[in-house]
Chains A and B, each alone.
Chain A
Amino acid sequence: MSFSSIGLIKPFQEYIVIDRAGAAGGSPSVQVIMEKRLFRSERKKGVWRQSLMGGMDEIIKEFLAESAENLDQLDQDLVSLEKSPDDREVFARIFRTIHTIKGTCGFLAFGKLEEVTHSGETLLSHLRDGLLKLSPEITTTLLAMIDAVRAILSRIEQDGGEGDQDYKSLIADLQRLNQEVDVKKKIGSDPEEAGSRPSPSKINRADDSDKKRAAPQPEKKPVKPKKKAAPRRKAKKPSPANLELSQQAPATPDPTEMESAPDDTGKEPGVEAPAASTLGENSLRVDVGALDRLMNLVGELVLARNQILRQTKNCEDAALVGAAQRLHGVTTELQEAVMKTRMQPIRFIWKKFPRFVRDLAQRFDKQVEITMEGQDTELDKAVIEAIKGSLLHLVRNSVDHGIESPEVRIARGKNPAGTLRLRAHHEGGNVLIEVGDDGGGIDHEAVLERGLSAHLLTPAEAKKMKPAQIEGLLFRPGFSTADKVTNVSGRGVGLDIVLNNIEAIGGSVEIQSEPGLSTSFRLKIPLTLAIIPILLVSTGGRRFAIPQVSVVELLRLDPETDDLGVEDLNGVPVYRLRGLLLPLLYLDRELNLPQSGKKSGRAVNIVVLQGDDRRFGLVVDVVEDSQEIVVKPLGRLLGSLPYAGTTILGNGEVALILDVLRLGLAAGVVSESRTHMASETDSTLLGGDAERTMLLYLLGPNDERMALDFACVDRLEFIPIARIERVGGLPVVQYRNEILQLVFVDETLPERRTDVRRTVETPDLDAVQVVVCSIDGYRIGLVVFRILDILSQSLDVTRPASREGVEACVVIKERVTEVIDLRTLIQLSDPTFFDRAVRLRDKEA
């Protein structure tokens, strides 16, 4: 599941650019897109040469990869250009990208692609020359062109062809826009330039001038390599490629650029210049697969190192020990360095958002501005892949449901344009990503309504819900079916999926909403998926890893104390942990392992786990230690089993990583709780709700149901009937060095119906089940017929008390249930209990 995503990489994004110095020296490997592009053209030299030897596929692959990146950049640039149409530099970048694609595809004989890009380029050149003003229509057409280019490129990637679509209407659109200029131009003052299509020479000139204008910008410093590339390519390639070339080669000599560059950065010229010129040479494009392999090998190296360290621990040979220590140091550093190469700034996903948001906003007739903070925050490549969909989902959610239409916004006194805020920053070992909007917030009423109609809660529950709980409803599976929710609540389309995806990689999601003002989703995401801390346990001679994320605490029950405290609740072993019943799972039983003979004298190790808002205890033989491990995905054949993956331990042994949630589900401790404890978990997790009461659910001999407030319950015991004695007519039992008075609930509160529904078969009469209760500091044992369950119930009185000894009647599991009034019950059974008890205490005092 979660870990399988490690290997999933989109073909278009198969490269990470590594800053050589960064990877080696351990400094962050932040690379700006600009540098990448420059670097690519540098590298192309080699590719061209290869092409002569028939490396055509290689060229096309290269072309596809870089075009994809360029297109992403283009989307971003066009959208930002729309906002600031005078940004020459952005414009130059757009123009160059399209031109590069056009040039390359001409050379590679992709005619259709060339035609599309050519039309686009013409339009762009008109814009650049100031003959046209950028209008939303033009932007949309240009974006459509980029989409067309993308579509053709993906066809080329699939089958090498350009596909059947001819993009006639798009080209017509582009040309129509071009025509407008031509008309204008004919009327205007520059008849010389009035050609319907630019000639290559024109492009050439135009671009050179463009280049000059942009030259002082720091990003363009490392043009030197390109210049070197120029003569060779010029000599070999005919027109289109040639074109690109001459266009990229700066008309001005390098030194002038160098000199102008430091002014921008404010650094000392002598230092800056050489660094800038080698910028391109400092980066490498590396296949992600290669990095994964590297990572794998480093993982192995770490294991081998661990083995050697163990072996040399007691070694006398100082030289060997020294070498082992050095190996240790180098390996650790190597591991860190390799990890770093896999880090990518979050910008890699965010850069698609401006375009995405623009399209969405247009579709919904909204105005949305997008702001981004912390674009350089780095995450592991695999994590980025894993959260991409979720982020997109949240952004769509915000634009679709969060931000109101301009009219509504104006009516509410807001800026007609809504703001979508993306923020990312590091916090501890996590990255926090926030997707926020200043829209209408979450409409609690609508959410509740939807929750009610989806039967996620009862009207009574709805009344008592706190805001946080209501927002929590959005993440419930089944809360949202797209159409209804979009219209009704305006929130929460498939948020449960977002939550699942984020939780699958060990993250969490929070909502913050101010009704009428804002909504923001905060994602907490681990830096890397590949290495996680685990707890190593063993059972039945096998070792298993449990992700530390799900471990709440470790308990060791010592056999020395009189009682292990593991109680049996109708066949389900439970342990009372600070007043809460913790269902227990025995790992060996769950996994059908040979059971390690339950000796009563042995200590019991319980790992308290949190799975899906529900805690349970996993009983294991030995808790070994905690480690950081490299997660490896489990094969397809084993997908349905309760394992989250595998790992290789220090000794080379393979260990399975337990999937806590699935383990709990398989054993029923999680799903069971879901049916009748779902609301309870919410209330305990989301701030507690005093209105709900934990009840001990009891069965009487005639199938009657009773309940007892769990707060007064101390322990559940089985007491042999033979041990019950009578003192002064009162039943008592010796219990933990005291005399415990007993009350027989059946006798005190007998079933009054004459037509008994059915008589439950009598359990074996060797022992009775006793609920040891505390009231006013006194202990008393209630002898009950059978304990059915422990559950959380809101005490909505559906009927007042039916008789003395009963506090109220409620409906639990569709049965009318009497809630016992403990005090009255005791008095019914023994009217003098409290008097005696008080007297006893006074005497003691």
Chain B
Amino acid sequence: MQRYCTFWVGSHFLGIEVEKVQEVLKFSEITPVPLSPPAVRGLINLRGRIVTVIDLRRRFGVQKNDTTSTNQMHIILYDDQDSLSLMVDRSGDVVEVGEETYEELPDTLQGEARRLIRGAFKLKEQLMLVVDVDHAINFQAENDNSR
């Protein structure tokens, strides 16, 4: 059994292995970083630590005006090199899933989402997509290419 920290981005129901998450919290003050890649939302001050905020909505290409959520949450990743936070629309519970419900993504899934998602767990209510954290936080090269 593996535990996942779940959240929503747009219409996606997503999950990250719980071990990779340091904490989930709400934050209002984000300092934008001019000239940064579009997916970088800015910096926050987490108890004296500077955390770079990555906007998962922009990573997943979710339209800006999709929701006017005020519940945006920060998933602070556990990483001793870089302090990173994934900004999501809404956070969910921690769920426990069995490997038997896991399935690779169908090949028909295309685009950026394909790279960001490793696979899916078939939960009772809905599919939980597993975010490939390494890809989600690594977009320097992709951005440079598109420029």
> Could you tell me the distance in whole angstroms from the C-beta of B118 to the nearest C-beta in chain A?
21
Q: Which among B35, B43, B54, B82 is the interface contact of A654 at CB below 8 angstroms? A: B43
A296 proximal to B (CB < 8 A): yes
Contact B33 A636 (CB under 8 A): no
Contact B82 A635 (CB under 8 A): yes
Q: Which among A296, A640, A646 is the interface contact of B43 at CB below 8 angstroms? A: A646
Bound form: Cα–Cα A652–B47 in Å:
9
Q: A635-B84, A636-B81, A638-B40 are in contact. Are A654 and B34 (CB under 8 A)?
A: no
B145 proximal to A (CB < 8 A): no
Bound form: Cα–Cα A296–B35 in Å:
28
Contact B33 A641 (CB under 8 A): yes
Q: Which among A297, A542, A637 is the interface contact of B32 at CB below 8 angstroms? A: A542
* CB neighbours of A648 from chain B (8 A): 45, 48, 50
A 55-113 contacts with B by CB, 8 A: none
A588-600 Cβ-contact flags toward B at 8 Å (1 or 0): 0001110000000
- 9 of the cross-chain contacts (CB-CB < 8 Å) are A632-B50, A635-B51, A635-B83, A638-B36, A638-B40, A638-B52, A641-B36, A654-B43, A656-B34
A427-441 Cβ-contact flags toward B at 8 Å (1 or 0): 000000000000000
Contact A636 B29 (CB under 8 A): no
- Nearest 6 pairs between A and B by C-beta? A591-B34, A635-B52, A654-B31, A300-B48, A654-B43, A632-B50
Bound form: Cα–Cα A643–B35 in Å:
10
A198-228 Cβ-contact flags toward B at 8 Å (1 or 0): 0000000000000000000000000000000
* CB neighbours of A560 from chain B (8 A): none
* CB neighbours of B37 from chain A (8 A): 637
A655 proximal to B (CB < 8 A): yes
Contact B82 A637 (CB under 8 A): yes
A645-661 Cβ-contact flags toward B at 8 Å (1 or 0): 01010001111100000
Query: Which partner residue on chain A sits nearest B39 by CB separation?
Result: A637
B140 proximal to A (CB < 8 A): yes
| Interface of A, helix, strand, loop or mixed by DSSP | mixed
B64 proximal to A (CB < 8 A): no
* CB neighbours of A654 from chain B (8 A): 31, 42-45, 50
Query: Which partner residue on chain B sits nearest A648 by CB separation?
Result: B45
Contact B33 A297 (CB under 8 A): no
Q: A542-B32, A654-B31, A656-B33 are in contact. Are A634 and B50 (CB under 8 A)?
A: yes
> Could you tell me the distance in whole angstroms from the C-beta of B42 to the nearest C-beta in chain A?
8
Bound form: Cα–Cα A300–B50 in Å:
12
Q: A646-B50, A654-B50 are in contact. Are A637 and B45 (CB under 8 A)?
A: no
A642 proximal to B (CB < 8 A): yes
Q: A635-B82, A648-B45, A652-B45 are in contact. Are A642 and B35 (CB under 8 A)?
A: yes
* CB neighbours of A533 from chain B (8 A): none
Interface size of A by Cβ–Cβ distance < 8 Å?
26
Other than A299-B48, A636-B82, give 6 A-B pairs with Cβ distance below 8 A: A592-B35, A633-B50, A635-B43, A638-B33, A653-B45, A654-B42
> Could you tell me the distance in whole angstroms from the C-beta of A339 to the nearest C-beta in chain B?
16
B124 proximal to A (CB < 8 A): no
Residue of A592, A637, A638 with most chain B CB atoms under a 10 A cut-off: A637
> Could you tell me the distance in whole angstroms from the C-beta of B86 to the nearest C-beta in chain A?
12
> Could you tell me the distance in whole angstroms from the C-beta of A156 to the nearest C-beta in chain B?
23
B137 proximal to A (CB < 8 A): yes
Bound form: Cα–Cα A637–B44 in Å:
14
Query: Which partner residue on chain A sits nearest B54 by CB separation?
Result: A637
* CB neighbours of A640 from chain B (8 A): 140
B18-59 Cβ-contact flags toward A at 8 Å (1 or 0): 000000000001011111110010111101111110100000
A 541-591 contacts with B by CB, 8 A: 542, 591
> Could you tell me the distance in whole angstroms from the C-beta of A620 to the nearest C-beta in chain B?
13
Contact B34 A297 (CB under 8 A): no
* CB neighbours of A296 from chain B (8 A): 48-49
Bound form: Cα–Cα A638–B139 in Å:
11
> Could you tell me the distance in whole angstroms from the C-beta of A521 to the nearest C-beta in chain B?
34
Bound form: Cα–Cα A643–B52 in Å:
14
Contact A635 B34 (CB under 8 A): no
> Could you tell me the distance in whole angstroms from the C-beta of A633 to the nearest C-beta in chain B?
8
* CB neighbours of A635 from chain B (8 A): 43, 50-52, 82-84
B 71-86 contacts with A by CB, 8 A: 81-84
> Could you tell me the distance in whole angstroms from the C-beta of B59 to the nearest C-beta in chain A?
12
* CB neighbours of B83 from chain A (8 A): 635
Q: Which among B40, B47, B49 is the interface contact of A637 at CB below 8 angstroms? A: B40
> Could you tell me the distance in whole angstroms from the C-beta of A265 to the nearest C-beta in chain B?
44
> Could you tell me the distance in whole angstroms from the C-beta of B140 to the nearest C-beta in chain A?
6
Residue of A641, A653, A654 with most chain B CB atoms under a 10 A cut-off: A654
> Could you tell me the distance in whole angstroms from the C-beta of A5 to the nearest C-beta in chain B?
14
Contact A592 B40 (CB under 8 A): no
Query: Which partner residue on chain A sits nearest B37 by CB separation?
Result: A637
* CB neighbours of B31 from chain A (8 A): 542, 653-656
Query: Which partner residue on chain A sits nearest B32 by CB separation?
Result: A542
Contact B47 A300 (CB under 8 A): yes
Bound form: Cα–Cα A640–B144 in Å:
11
Query: Which partner residue on chain A sits nearest B144 by CB separation?
Result: A640
Contact B35 A591 (CB under 8 A): yes
Bound form: Cα–Cα A642–B31 in Å:
16
Bound form: Cα–Cα A640–B32 in Å:
16
Bound form: Cα–Cα A638–B83 in Å:
12
Query: Which partner residue on chain A sits nearest B139 by CB separation?
Result: A637
Contact A653 B140 (CB under 8 A): no
> Could you tell me the distance in whole angstroms from the C-beta of A303 to the nearest C-beta in chain B?
8
Contact A592 B34 (CB under 8 A): yes
Residue of B33, B44, B52, B139 with most chain A CB atoms under a 10 A cut-off: B33
> Could you tell me the distance in whole angstroms from the C-beta of B144 to the nearest C-beta in chain A?
9
Bound form: Cα–Cα A629–B59 in Å:
33
Contact B137 A653 (CB under 8 A): no
* CB neighbours of B33 from chain A (8 A): 638, 641, 643, 656
> Could you tell me the distance in whole angstroms from the C-beta of A209 to the nearest C-beta in chain B?
50
* CB neighbours of A643 from chain B (8 A): 33
